[in-house]
């Protein structure tokens, strides 16, 4: 028997219904903030991610699904979507459109990492990018958007961590100091951090390996290396969050795993997810567009929510309105003429928003067993006598109560 590939999974009913509800909620929240959907290809030229995300990141060096196309070019299944959105922004000259471009996306990403709770090799993200504006007002807006989205999904106990990783000048001075400090601790670091200490020392701060934690605690604070412009920007972000009533914690070790981040970085954590408790992350990426070939600066900020992990949090919170929706009506016809009559009534009910399943004609006992197993709220019993009388038996499957109804009364009788 052929099974799903390791690190992938099938999303089956009724869980797929909850996925649809979360996605519909996300779309409504994005609409309320004036964000518009963008859909990018699931594969891109490999250079887009190696240049945009960073050659020395774990994503590019270890995790990407890359393959040779028949024309000799190298293509990669997208491991994240910010680089793709910026590529589309540049390619389609969206800089010519006045104002800040507010874009959102939903869809699958691919990374060959070790599968674990809530993490898959094909995983799904809900994300947004606000491009063309370097104001700290936009940083606060993006964070408020995430907070609103989580709250709308019933997630009210998440923690927000924020930091500033500075601009290139500030970060350059900090990285030089980190390299010098880390050189004295190389033998004591984990294998991954020994490599990162040389190639990408900021990533050592992001290490979750217990072996590295005592050393990380001794490293200098990036805030001591921020220039005045970076300090002013970060202070404004914090002030705007406070004004909006959004609680946060400043974590100077929060650097995120991608090279393109500048200034603000942030994460939302949720306890129901266990040790790997980040439900969402994001940050500002001034300079990414230029690194991908844009001649016009396109400062921006964005975030992505791991939809697989968001669904785990929703299932834990069990918010009202996110349960799988039951079938409204199971039509149980006893003859072929009854089937045709039931199908006509079902068509009208569907037009007014009711969900209806029409069974093939059969015996009443068997039909009621199928109705009960379907999880429907009501069953409609139709036979030749009911057709002649113009009144049908509407049975409440929870209480067992049955009442006669006409076709015109049917929708209203179901509530």
296-325 residue pLDDT tens:
899 999 999 999 999 999 988 888 778 888
Spatial CA neighbour of 123 closest among 131, 134, 133, 112: 112
Tokens of 58: 């774990």
Tokens of 266: 């942030």
Residue 267 clears pLDDT 90, i.e. is over it: yes
Q: Is 155 helix (H, G, I), strand (E, B) or coil?
A: coil
Q: Which fold has domain 329-413?
A: Rossmann fold (3.40.50)
Q: For residues 85 and 137, give the distance between their C-alpha atoms in angstroms, rounded to a whole number.
A: 21
Strand partners, 402: 395
Residue 258 clears pLDDT 80, i.e. is over it: no
Tell me the per-residue pLDDT of 334-387, one tens digit each, with 9 for 90 and over. 999 999 999 999 999 999 999 999 999 999 999 999 999 999 999 999 999 999
Q: Which residue has the tokens 């393109």?
A: 260
What local confidence, expressed as pLDDT, does residue 391 receive? 95
DSSP string, 156-209: ---EEEEEE---HHHHHHHHHHHHHHHHTTGGGS-HHHHHHHHH-THHHHT---
Which top CATH class is 15-167+227-317? alpha beta
CATH 3.30.930.10 intervals, the chain = 15-167+227-317
Burial 88-121 (b: 16+ CB within 10 A, else e): bbbeeebbeeeebbbbbbbeebbbbeeeeebbbb
Average pLDDT for residues 26-43, to the nearest whole number? 98
Q: For residues 184 and 316, give the distance between their C-alpha atoms in angstroms, rounded to a whole number.
A: 44
Tell me the per-residue pLDDT of 109-128, one tens digit each, with 9 for 90 and over. 999 988 777 789 999 999 99
What local confidence, expressed as pLDDT, does residue 233 receive? 97
Asked if 140 contacts 240 with a C-beta cutoff of 8 angstroms, the reply is: yes
Spatial CA neighbour of 65 closest among 5, 21, 1: 5
What local confidence, expressed as pLDDT, does residue 117 receive? 73
From residue 166, alpha-carbon distances to 220, 231, 245, 290 in Å are: 14, 8, 25, 17
- Going by pLDDT thresholds of 50, 70 and 90, the confidence category of residue 274 is low
Spatial CA neighbour of 262 closest among 60, 54, 98: 54
Listed in sequence order, the residues at least 6 apart from 237 whose beta carbon sits closer than 8 Å to its beta carbon are: 136, 139, 140, 143, 162, 164, 264
Sign of CA dihedral 166, 169, 171, 173: negative
Residue 57 clears pLDDT 80, i.e. is over it: no
Q: Is 280 helix (H, G, I), strand (E, B) or coil?
A: strand
Residue 40 clears pLDDT 90, i.e. is over it: yes
From residue 170, alpha-carbon distances to 179, 224, 265, 288 in Å are: 15, 9, 15, 17
Percent of the chain with pLDDT over 70: 98
Residue 198 clears pLDDT 90, i.e. is over it: no
Asked if 53 contacts 22 with a C-beta cutoff of 8 angstroms, the reply is: no
Asked if 256 contacts 283 with a C-beta cutoff of 8 angstroms, the reply is: yes
Mean pLDDT of the chain: 92
279 phi and psi angles, rounded to 5 deg: -100, -20
Q: For residues 338 and 141, give the distance between their C-alpha atoms in angstroms, rounded to a whole number.
A: 57
CATH 3.40.50.800 intervals, the chain = 329-413
- pTM for this structure? 0.88
Asked if 22 contacts 314 with a C-beta cutoff of 8 angstroms, the reply is: yes
Listed in sequence order, the residues at least 6 apart from 19 whose beta carbon sits closer than 8 Å to its beta carbon are: 11, 307, 311
Pairing relation of β-strands 378-382 and 329-333?
parallel
- Helices 191-199 and 168-183 pack at an angle, to 10 degrees, of 130
DSSP string, 213-241: HHHHTTSPPGGGG--HHHHHHHHHHHHHH
- CA-only gyration radius of the chain, Å: 27
């Amino acid at each position: 028997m052929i099974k799903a590939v390791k690190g992938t999974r099938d999303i089956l009913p009724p869980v797929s219904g909850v996925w649809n509800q979360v996605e519909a909620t996300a779309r409504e929240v994005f609409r309320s903030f004036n964000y518009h959907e963008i859909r990018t290809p699931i594969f891109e030229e490999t250079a887009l991610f190696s240049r945009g995300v960073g050659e020395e990141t774990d994503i590019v060096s270890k995790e990407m699904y890359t393959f040779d196309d028949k024309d000799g070019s190298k293509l990669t299944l997208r491991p994240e979507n910010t680089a793709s959105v910026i590529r589309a922004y540049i390619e389609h000259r969206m800089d010519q459109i006045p104002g800040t471009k507010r874009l959102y996306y939903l869809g699958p990403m691919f990374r060959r990492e070790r599968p674990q709770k809530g993490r898959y090799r094909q995983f799904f993200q809900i994300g947004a990018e606000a491009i063309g504006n370097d104001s700290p007002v936009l940083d606060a807006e993006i964070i408020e958007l995430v907070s609103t989205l989580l709250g709308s999904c019933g997630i009210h106990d998440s923690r927000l961590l924020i930091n500033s990783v500075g601009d290139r000048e500030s970060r350059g001075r900090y990285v030089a100091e980190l390299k010098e400090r880390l050189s004295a601790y190389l033998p004591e670091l984990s294998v991954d951090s020994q490599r990162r200490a040389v190639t990408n020392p900021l990533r050592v701060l992001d290490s979750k390996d217990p072996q590295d934690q005592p050393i990380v605690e001794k490293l200098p604070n990036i805030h001591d290396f921020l220039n005045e412009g970076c300090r002013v920007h970060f202070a404004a972000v914090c002030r705007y969050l406070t004004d909006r009533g959004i609680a946060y914690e400043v974590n100077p070790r929060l650097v995120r795993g991608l090279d393109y981040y500048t200034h603000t970085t942030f994460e939302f954590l949720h306890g129901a997810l266990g040790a790997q408790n980040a439900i969402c992350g994001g940050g500002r990426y001034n300079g990414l567009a230029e690194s991908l070939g844009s001649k016009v600066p396109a400062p921006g900020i964005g975030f992505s929510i791991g939809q697989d992990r968001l669904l785990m949090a929703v299932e834990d919170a069990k918010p009202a309105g996110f349960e799988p929706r039951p079938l409204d009506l199971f039509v149980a016809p006893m003859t072929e003429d009854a089937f045709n009559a039931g199908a006509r009534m079902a068509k009208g009910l569907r037009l007014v928003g009711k969900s209806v399943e029409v069974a093939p004609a059969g015996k009443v006992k068997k039909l009621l067993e199928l109705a009960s197993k379907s999880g429907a709220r009501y069953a409609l019993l139709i036979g030749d006598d009911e057709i002649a009388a113009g009144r049908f038996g509407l049975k409440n499957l929870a209480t067992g109560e049955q009442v006669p109804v006409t076709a015109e009364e049917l929708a209203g009788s179901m509530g």
